[in-house]
């Protein structure tokens, strides 16, 4: 189990570097398994529905899974119904941009599934041979001598069970369908790459910081996330032991500093870098502002000559989610 956790930790650290390629490879491998093991074209009136389901439904499931696994999704939606400030136009626009960013990441896996499935051609062949449109059937059977027979036997072509049409003619139709499927697959891949390049260029052009500072920001966010996991576990263990000890031994609980609800709300929001404040996360911002408030109160107490005031305790808290950039 420890070795497995170590492998997951290494993969998580490298996710930002080759996450896109890893998702594409895993999706392509899953599609190949489904195509060779699970998929069996029925070669009847269900061809179109069956092929379309295998082509689109897994992509839809991967899209939903992408939203579920994104921590940005839950940072955005947790408690959103109780935030009155979200009704403001500026906040709605910012939330829309965040949702768009989440969607671009979630669309990688479903787009890869559809692209690989189109390159393979099995799902497309099955679906198109079951499409009962006269113009479509005539288009496919234009090279077949007996077009009427071809229209009746078209659904049996993927299983090679056509009786009244020669194998040469049926294979010619299937080759045409596979060629069309592969063309659509390459077009989809090209659109994915061009869109990714354009979005990256637009995001980098509008970046308020330089390339090296952006690299530093990503490194800081990763380190903060790693330390958050270990510190959260330790803090929860200490708090749980304190409560259990107090419960079973009937002793007053030892004082442990915990964050307020406002503090949790402050660090749970999605953060956008501001060059004026120069903070690298909501946790960084909350800590700096809290320390600044403490310093202001200390300065006021010194000016008033009050030396008996007790110093405020610094909040000890952890971020509940990964800092995503």
User: How far is Cα of residue 165 from the mean position of the Cα atoms in its chain?
Assistant: 47
DSSP string, 248-261: HHT-PPPP-----H
Sequence-ordered list of residues with C-beta below 8 angstroms from that of 62, at least 6 positions apart, any chain: 27, 109, 110, 113
Handedness of CA 191, 194, 200, 206 (dihedral sign): negative
Please give the structure tokens belonging to residue 162.
Answer: 């056509």
- pLDDT of the residue at 301: 35
More confident residue, 123 or 300: 123
Please tell me what DSSP assigns to residue 160.
Answer: T
165, 144 Cβ separation under 8 angstroms: yes
pLDDT greater than 60 at residue 251: yes
Token duo for residue 73 = 């999704």
Judge whether 126 and 90 are in contact, CB under 8 Å. Answer: no
- For the entire predicted model, the pTM comes to 0.73
Angle at 35 between CA 33 and CA 41, to 5 degrees: 145
Going from N- to C-terminal start, the domains of the chain cover 2-205, 211-304
Distance CA 223, CA 290 (A): 21
CB 98 within 8 A of CB 72: yes
Q: Please, which pLDDT band fits residue 273 given cuts at 50, 70 and 90?
A: low
In 3D, which of 64, 76, 81 has the Cα closest to residue 101? Answer: 76
pLDDT band at 240 (very low <50, low <70, confident <90, very high): very high
Write b or e for each residue in 3-38: b if 16 or more Cβ atoms lie within 10 A of its Cβ, otherwise e. Answer: eeeeeeeeeeeeeeeeeeeebbeebbebbeebbeee
Of 124, 134, 118, 125, residue with least CA distance to 157: 125
Which pLDDT value is given to residue 325?
Answer: 38
46 φ/ψ angles, rounded to the nearest 5 degrees: -90, 5
Helices (H), 206-281: 211-249, 261-268
List the one residue out of 8, 105, 97 whose CA is nearest residue 66. Answer: 105
pLDDT range class, residue 137, cuts 50, 70, 90: confident
Alpha carbons 271 and 88: distance in angstroms, whole number? 18
The pLDDT score that the predictor gives to residue 7 is 36
Q: How far is 292 from 215, CA to CA, in rounded Å? A: 27
Length of the chain in terms of residues written: 325
Work out the pLDDT band at 225, boundaries 50, 70, 90. Answer: confident
| Alpha-carbon span 285 to 273, nearest angstrom | 10
Taking only the tens place, the pLDDT of each residue in 281-295 is 888 888 887 765 544
Measured between alpha carbons, how far is residue 281 from residues 250, 322, 323 in Å?
41, 10, 7
CA-nearest of 17, 112, 114, 103 to 67 is 103
Point out the least confidently predicted range of 66-80, 105-119, 124-138, 304-318. Answer: 304-318
DSSP 309: P
Residues 6+ apart with CB under 8 A from 320: 264, 267, 268
> Residue 243: pLDDT band by 50, 70, 90 thresholds?
very high
């Amino acid at each position: 189990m420890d070795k497995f956790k170590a492998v997951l930790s290494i993969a998580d650290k490298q996710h930002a570097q080759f996450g896109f390629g890893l998702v594409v490879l895993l999706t392509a491998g899953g599609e190949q398994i489904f195509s060779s093991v699970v998929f069996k074209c029925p070669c009847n009136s269900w061809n179109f529905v069956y092929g379309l389901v295998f082509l689109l439904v897994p992509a839809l499931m991967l899209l939903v899974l992408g939203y579920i696994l994104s921590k940005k999704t839950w940072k955005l939606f947790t408690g959103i119904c109780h935030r009155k400030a979200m009704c403001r136009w500026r906040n709605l626009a910012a939330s829309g941009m965040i949702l768009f960013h989440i969607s671009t990441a979630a669309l990688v896996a479903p787009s890869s599934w559809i692209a690989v499935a189109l390159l393979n051609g099995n799902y497309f062949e099955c679906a198109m041979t079951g499409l009962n449109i006269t113009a479509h059937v005539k288009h496919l059977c234009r090279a077949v001598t007996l077009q009427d027979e071809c229209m009746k036997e078209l659904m049996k072509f993927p299983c090679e069970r056509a009786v009244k049409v020669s194998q040469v003619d049926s294979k010619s139709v299937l080759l045409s369908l596979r060629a069309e499927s592969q063309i659509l697959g390459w077009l989809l891949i090209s659109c994915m790459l061009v869109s990714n390049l354009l979005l990256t260029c637009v995001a980098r052009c509008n970046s308020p910081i330089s390339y090296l500072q952006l690299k530093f920001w990503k490194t800081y966010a990763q380190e903060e996330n790693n330390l958050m996991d270990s510190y959260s576990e330790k803090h929860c263990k200490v708090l749980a032991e304190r409560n259990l000890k107090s419960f079973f031994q009937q002793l007053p609980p030892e004082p442990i500093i915990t964050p307020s609800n406002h503090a949790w709300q402050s660090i749970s929001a999605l953060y956008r870098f501001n060059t004026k404040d120069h903070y690298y996360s909501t946790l960084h911002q909350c800590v700096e502002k809290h320390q600044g408030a403490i310093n202001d109160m200390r300065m006021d107490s010194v000016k008033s000559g009050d030396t008996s005031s007790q110093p405020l305790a610094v909040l000890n808290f952890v971020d509940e989610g990964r800092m995503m950039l």
